[in-house]
């Protein structure tokens, strides 16, 4: 069975209570629960991890080389600042989809630049928790296409 890492960056542990008008009212646990259940339905094992620490996120990306067929990554505020996370994504040779709950392009100017996007397979933003959901489905389609080849 294919496995996917869902990686959440800083402050996403506070989802549900954190600026709900921007990020919605669903908790991180609920998002993870839905992704794992949908993964099961699609025949994909979903493993979730959250950290507020840049180094821990980098370690997870490195470790994913050993087991993950794809990564769904919300780098949070590090999206806009972290050369080290960009380098980790570029280094691992696994397709990564960058996701954001909010529409970062429609927000403050500093959020409109992502250091991560250019080294990702794709990016989904602005659809709330459904950004993650659609990323999972994009991987399911990719895996199906791989199998047909």
As measured in angstroms, the least distance from the Cβ of 149 to ligand DQA is 33
Distance CA 35, CA 113 (A): 27
Closer to ligand DQA at the Cβ: 50 or 102? 102
Which of 59-67, 69-77, 82-90, 132-140 is the region at the interface with ligand DQA (rule: CB under 6 A)?
69-77
Q: In the window 107-136, what residues touch ligand DQA (CB under 6 A)? A: 111
Distance CA 10, CA 75 (A): 7
As measured in angstroms, the least distance from the Cβ of 62 to ligand DQA is 21
Distances (CA, A) of 81 to 29, 59, 75, 136: 26, 18, 10, 25
At 124, is the secondary structure helix, strand, or coil? strand
Closer to ligand DQA at the Cβ: 78 or 139? 78
Q: Mention every residue, 6+ apart, whose C-beta is less than 8 A from residue 67.
A: 3
As measured in angstroms, the least distance from the Cβ of 75 to ligand DQA is 7
- Binding stretches for ligand DQA (CB under 6 A): 11, 74, 76-77, 79, 100-102, 104, 111
């Amino acid at each position: 069975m294919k496995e996917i890492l869902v990686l959440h960056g800083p402050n996403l542990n506070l989802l549900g209570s954190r600026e709900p008008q921007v990020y919605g009212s669903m908790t991180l646990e609920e998002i993870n629960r839905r992704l794992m259940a949908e993964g099961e339905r699609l025949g994909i094992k979903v493993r979730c991890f959250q950290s507020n620490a840049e180094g821990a996120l980098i370690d997870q990306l490195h470790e994913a080389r050993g087991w993950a067929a794809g990564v769904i990554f919300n780098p949070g505020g590090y999206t806009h600042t972290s050369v080290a996370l960009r380098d980790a994504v570029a280094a691992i040779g696994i397709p990564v989809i960058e996701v954001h709950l909010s529409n970062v392009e429609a927000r403050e100017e500093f959020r409109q630049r992502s250091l991560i996007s250019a080294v990702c397979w794709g990016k989904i933003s602005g659809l709330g928790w459904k950004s993650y959901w659609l990323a999972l489905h994009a991987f399911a389609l990719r895996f199906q296409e791989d199998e047909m080849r």
